[in-house]
Amino acid sequence: MRLATIRLADGRTEAVRVDGDQAVRLGHADVGALLRDGGPDALARAAEADGTTVALADAELAPVVPTPGKILCVGLNYRNHILEMGRELPEFPTLFAKYPEALIGPRDGIRKPPESEKLDWEGELAIVIGTAVRRAGPTEARAAIAGYAVLNDVTARDWQYRGPQWLQGKTFEATTPFGPQLVTTDEWEPGSDLVTAVDGEEVQRASTGDLVFGPAELVAYASTILTLRPGDVIATGTPGGVGHARKPARYLTPGQTVTTTIEGLGTLTNPVVADGA
């Protein structure tokens, strides 16, 4: 099953089930609310719902989960990216946070902050949590995953490296596209390619099966620290090919377009715009 969050004309949002070129309205404010409000059988109810429909082509898509309670991000989780950054393979996941204000829809503009001249792309696979878990074992961790989506952890490198903590470079407002839809675990599992392109030029390609720490491992690890709840998001890390590691380095500028595709999950298509323009 495929779920998305659409924007309505009155400014509200609503969760929908994607059935081909139609979107079935589900009556929840967004996909996160559906997962939180529907209990353990939220996805089963969504699959059976029979609501009014809208043409998907006419719908404006919001971030698939607009306001997650938590956005946990994983650094250095693809082998080739770790090597290009000159680091050793990690023993444990590297975790940092991002906040909901950073999220934008799958077709929205990435707002380049005037304070940064080193805005970089980072295509990623995102996990969306479906049931609350704490100290999950492998089986429970897998069962807690509602599905997957595409995310680009656009990063202000000059702010990221102002100090030893990465947060300030990772969560600039309106920089992180997320969507276009959540695909449930019965329809998709990691293994297909993630591809990032800038103005049509491929800059990243890697198999989502090449993660050092896979989805269930990340859920188990993070849930050891704190309870993961429905609608929470884990961004699993980016592969090699980021602009900051190139020689010479390359960064995003207004007027460019970033596409982030994972086969079977969909594509984010985001123009880069000057913040405040």
pLDDT digits (tens, 9 = 90+) for 220-245: 999 999 999 999 999 999 999 999 98
| Digit-coded pLDDT (tens) for 91-102 | 999 999 999 999
pLDDT digits (tens, 9 = 90+) for 73-93: 999 899 877 776 677 889 999
State the chain's mean pLDDT as an integer: 95
Superfamily of domain 71-274: Fumarylacetoacetase-like, C-terminal domain (3.90.850.10)
Task: Report the range of poorest mean pLDDT among 42-51, 74-83, 151-160.
Answer: 74-83
Domain extents in the chain: 2-61, 71-274
When pLDDT is averaged across residues 63-82 and rounded to a whole number, the result is: 92
Higher pLDDT, 23 or 82: 23
What string of H, E and C letters represents the secondary structure of the chain? CEEEEEECCCCCEEEEEEECCEEEECCCCCHHHHHHHCHHHHHHHHHHCCCCEEEHHHCEECCCCCCCCCEEEEECCEHHHHHHCCCCCCCCCEEEEECHHHEECCCCCEEECCCCCCEECCEEEEEEECCCECCCCHHHHHHCEEEEEEEECCEEHHHHCCCCCCHHHHCCCCCEEEEEEEEECCCCCCCCEEEEEECCEEEEEEEHHHECCCHHHHHHHHHHHCCECCCCEEECCCCCCCHHHCCCCCCCCCCCEEEEEECCCEEEEEEEEECCC
Kindly indicate the confidence band of residue 38, based on its pLDDT and cuts at 50, 70 and 90. Answer: confident
Q: Which pTM does this prediction carry? A: 0.96
